[in-house]
Amino acid sequence: MKDIPGYEGIYKFDTELNLVYSIKYNRYLKIRRYLKSSLNRGLYSISLYKNGKEKKYSIRQLSIICNPIENNNLVDIPNYDNYKFDTELEQVYNTQTDIYLKNCFSPDGYYLVGLNKNKIRTTYKIHQLVYIINNPTDDITGFEIDHIDGNRTNNKIENLRKATKSDNQSNRKTNKNNKLGIKNITKTKWNTYVFQLKKNKIKYEKTFKTLEEAIEHRDRVVLEKCGEFANLG
């Protein structure tokens, strides 16, 4: 018999029989089979009461709650009591179902996962969760999480930093449509070279006769305006 967290002195869980024992009534409680959907077929549920409030659990949930997984890599995800984040696997673990959630790979190169709370599903990028669990008191509302090395699959905390949208864009690599292959510089039909940079909604632009002059100007302005987020391509 094991105490059920939150119900100490009221119920115990028999780990051999997978049954709930009521201390007050000195007997095992009846369980019932889920019938609502095919997803829950074969699972059994039970209602527990505390302070006049009822809460339903599956027997599997209670078994997991009373026999928590021993994994030092699992850390709390702020505002999500039913999930933990595995820092080694970089995956979310559902504490209620004893299942790791599968990461999806987005078309723009990020790993994603969906978390449910109060019947609302929210999609997070894995690098966002990594930053959040390492900085639980940091409010990132209105900010983005930037990959320092530009590799969107390198989600180690050492490679992540909070950034404004403008900062994040500053750290992007050379656009694939850039025919010169030199970031922030394009060649005109008059064989001149135009430097362009947009930072914090301010546009910087200047035309040069030679590519060398354009690059020298680009390097100086980008480093000055973008600081630690400067990326020369």
All structural domains of the chain, each given as residue ranges with its CATH number in brackets, are: 2-66 (3.90.75.20), 74-163 (3.90.75.20), 170-229 (no CATH)
Could you report the per-residue pLDDT of 213-224, keeping only the tens digit for each?
999 999 999 999
pLDDT computed for residue 69 by the predictor? 65
In percent, the amount of the chain with pLDDT more than 90 equals: 73
Query: How confident is residue 105, by pLDDT bands cut at 50, 70 and 90?
Result: very high
Could you report the per-residue pLDDT of 16-35, keeping only the tens digit for each?
888 999 999 999 998 876 54
> Cα separation of 187 and 82, whole Å?
55
In percent, the amount of the chain with pLDDT more than 70 equals: 94
In order of 16, 53, 85, the CA distances from 71 in angstroms are 23, 32, 11
Most confidently modeled range among 52-56, 114-118, 172-176: 114-118
Strands ordered across the beta sheet of 202-208:
185-187, 193-199, 202-208
